[in-house]
Amino acid sequence: MKKTVLYSIGAAILCGVLFSSCTKKASDAKIPVTFAGTEAATTGQSRMMQAVADKLNETGRFNATVQVAGALSGDTDALVTQAKLGISLVVPSDPGRLASQFKIPDLNILMAPYILTDPAVLKKLPDTALFKEWQAELEKQGIVYITNMYNGFRCFYTTTPVKHVSDLSGLRIRGFGNSIGNNLARYLGFANIGISWGEVFPGIQSKTLDGCEVQVATADGARLYEVIKNLAMTKHYMLQSAFVCSSAFYNSMSPADRELFTKIMRDAAVEYGEIIAGEEKGFYDNMRKNGVTITDVDIAEFQKAIEPLYTNNDLGFSAGLKDRLFSELK
């Protein structure tokens, strides 16, 4: 099934690229690129990609289009795989997914529970030596790591109230299907169900899921308030959209076009990260308006529960990684 999905995505994009090339031969200097994501069109991540596409098109150098809400695939890893194979896609993944997909354990530090807690540090991240090292490792595998954008704090949305760590015990929660998600579940006591986002609403509705952990903009966009009535403000992950594209696509551009492309992406990531942070209160208010009870939990209790994740080094971090990251982000 996955091969069929990958083939379909690739065929759709490739046909579009070929059509663009054939019909615009006189102006084939324009660079075709598609921004593809799984979030609803209304979220900050999707609006950021549309803004980037618009700015790229305004330069006259690009023919950029946007496909969101899972239009090409509801599976982020599948989209990243297509980019790796050379399709001219820009995909918002996240550091934890990239760490698992490309076997770079240290990348998990960016998404590990309660490590990064201030969105402002992401503005400095692309200039750090660590980021450049991760870029080099990914490029060897066919992917260019462009930038990170703040995309909200993730909390627990459940059908039953969660006030303490023990309240999560035995619940079937949709989370990240990677080492970060599996270890969070291990130490907080819930069953981690790594299904695609599109399966979450019907899963909760049919009671095969007890909830999910997600950022509020996505929860609101999916109208989760229709099937869950409890939100625990654990803020266990500072979610980041890690934008990547094909190495073949990126290196096919001239140095000037690459610089322009990267600058527009990074500037927009900073701008929309701030927009997303500013919009969160309104989304939480809408949750309350739709009958969701929001509980301010004791975050220290949840932090203490996941301490063994770090003392046991379950994520396989290099020695001194946390100190090095914080030092480079100063």
pLDDT tens by residue, the chain, 330 residues:
444 445 455 555 544 443 343 434 434 589 999 999 998 898 999 999 999 999 999 999 999 999 999 999 988 999 999 999 999 999 999 999 999 999 999 999 999 999 999 999 999 999 999 999 999 999 999 999 999 999 999 999 999 999 999 999 999 999 999 999 999 999 999 999 999 888 999 999 999 999 999 999 999 989 999 999 999 999 999 999 999 999 999 999 999 999 999 999 999 999 999 999 999 999 999 999 999 999 999 999 999 999 999 999 999 999 999 999 999 999
Comma-separated ranges of CATH 3.40.190.170 domains in the chain: 2-151+241-280, 155-237+282-329
Task: Dig out the tokens for 50 from the structure.
Answer: 């549309």
- Pairwise CA distance, residues 245 & 92, whole Å: 9
Kindly report the three-state secondary structure assignment for every residue of 240-282. Answer: EEEEEEEHHHHHHCCHHHHHHHHHHHHHHHHHHHHHHHHHHHH
List the one residue out of 108, 73, 115 whose CA is nearest residue 92: 73
Options 3.40.50.720, 3.40.190.170, 3.90.380.10, 3.40.630.30; which CATH number does 155-237+282-329 get? 3.40.190.170
Cβ contact 111:239 at 8 Å: yes
Domain 2-151+241-280: top CATH class: alpha beta
pLDDT at residue 118 in the model = 96
Cβ contact 270:120 at 8 Å: no
- The model's pTM: 0.87
Q: Is 103 left (phi over 0), alpha (psi -120 to 50) or beta?
A: left
Q: Is 186 exposed, middle or buried (0-12, 13-18, 19+ CB in 10 A)?
A: middle
Q: Which residues contact 327 (CB under 8 A, 6 or more apart)?
A: none
